[in-house]
Amino acid sequence: MELGRELRAALRGGRQVAVFSGAGISAESGVPTFRDAQKGLWARFDPMELASPEGFERNPKRVWDWYAMRRQQLQQVQPNPGHYALARWERLRPGLKVVTQNVDGLHQRAGNSDVIELHGNISRVRCSLENVIVEQWEERPDEVPRCGQCAAYLRPDVVWFGELLPPEAYARAQEVMATADLVLVVGTSALVQPAAQLPYIALRAGAVVVEVNPEETPFSADATFSVRGPAGVVLPAMVEAIAD
Ligand code: OAD
């Protein structure tokens, strides 16, 4: 894929690089979106029943089983060339940071070492009362596993509808955006607040902000450069441009 001369120069000039990613970067890995995963016996449930504090209160077992199923689906997918390009980018520009809305852990599996997770991680589990991360638990056929300390139910360590973003992760993401000189906004519809504000923090701080998305988004017109194409094609071409 051909990148323009100005864009190549801007990419090469980036020293403090940050990435802001969304579901689109995992599309080529075949990670099912929430909606795609809602197949078969799950199709009849409103997303609020599967991914909200109220849904969990009403039927903890249903919510637990939904996440157990999605955790298993994730074991069958691999990072794609887009994720690997960002890992290579970090080797060329140490200190590169990834801020992601994804819960799939694919950036870490590809090799990025500093990943800020705004919506948690589906492979982690925490106590629903004390919020401490629990490393080991036993799956039971007819019961939601409980915290060994306080006996409250365990729950996935993800942000549900109606919940706030983890404040520390969001504060760190804001800081990363405010201090980067090059930001790549990859595979996000740029619609969900407050995360959608992050690219604007970078723009206001004077960073070059490059959007990578096959579709136009509400952010496209504001980006310094907006590149139309799939992350698995565009990001490898971009990292090649800074490597040569
Ligand atoms: P969305 O599903 O809203 O947007 C995905 C974006 O990826 C769209 O703009 C697509 O055009 C783009 N896209 C599709 N294929 C792509 C590819 N191969 N390469 C690059 N981009 C591609 O996902 P997010 O922006 O992540 O929140 O949505 C943010 C949050 O909304 C999600 O994390 C989720 C949802 O509600 C929670 O679950 C809390």
**Residue 149 in 3-state DSSP?**
coil
Q: What is the pLDDT of residues 116-125, one digit of tens each?
A: 999 999 999 9
Q: How many domains does the structure of the chain reveal?
A: 2
* 119 catalytic per annotation: yes
Percent of the chain at pLDDT > 90 equals 89
Protein residue with its CA nearest to atom 3 in ligand 1: 189
Exposure string of 152-166, with b = 16+ CB inside 10 Å and e = fewer, is ebbbbbbbbeeeebb
Read off the pLDDT band of 141 (50, 70, 90): confident
State the maximum Cα–Cα separation within the chain, in Å, rounded to a whole number: 60
Q: Identify the domain containing residue 63 by its residue range.
A: 32-76+121-158
240 in the same domain as 169: yes
Residue 244, pLDDT > 80, answer: no
CATH number, domain of 186, equals 3.40.50.1220
**What is the model's pLDDT at position 32?**
83
Q: The CATH number of the domain where 135 resides is what? A: 3.30.1600.10
Q: What is the 14 CA–ligand 1 centroid distance (Å)? A: 25
The stretch 218-236 carries a mean pLDDT of 98
pLDDT recorded at residue 140: 86
My answer on whether omega of the bond before 194 falls inside 30° of 0, hence cis, is yes
Is pLDDT of 181 > 90?
yes
pLDDT of residue 40: 86
pLDDT tens-digit readout, 44-60: 999 999 999 999 999 99
